[in-house]
Copies of this chain bind each other. A is one copy, B any other.
Amino acid sequence: MKVMLLIAHGSRKETANDEIKRLAQQVQAIGGEDYAAVVAAFLEIAEPSIQQGVEQCVELGATEVVAVPYFLAAGKHVASDIPGELACARAGHPQLSIELSQYVGDNEAMADLVLRCSRLAG
């Protein structure tokens, strides 16, 4: 059973964290063929943390977790903090497969998304 762990930075603004949880629901709605569930988690500030998010995946019955960094550029968080957290999660759950996917900024469809956004008032 495969579960997506959608990892965002985490904000002091609770409404910003709620956006991520809503996005997780939207991904689940369109990605049901690939993922039994989509769990939102936060690297810093907000909860669930990455470790708590992995626990949620296990409680849902996951045998395979695909961690998707919801980050735009490969700064320190993408390059080392998230891989470090996932290494820690793997050590605590040796029976679980935890894979790290591409981060969202590293996708060829992003230029098109930027163009779409520019056409909509902020």
Contact = CB atoms under 8 A, between A and B. Distances in A.
Interface residues of A, number: 54
Contact of A121 (B31, B76, B102, B115): B102
Given A11-B75, A16-B74, A73-B8, A23 B104 contact: no
Contacts of A102: 117-118, 120-122
Given A11-B75, A72-B72, A113 B104 contact: yes
Interface of A: 4, 6, 8-9, 11-13, 15-17, 19-20, 23, 26-27, 29-31, 34-35, 66, 68-76, 79, 99-107, 109-122
9 contacts: A15-B74, A16-B75, A20-B73, A23-B114, A27-B115, A29-B111, A31-B115, A100-B122, A101-B122
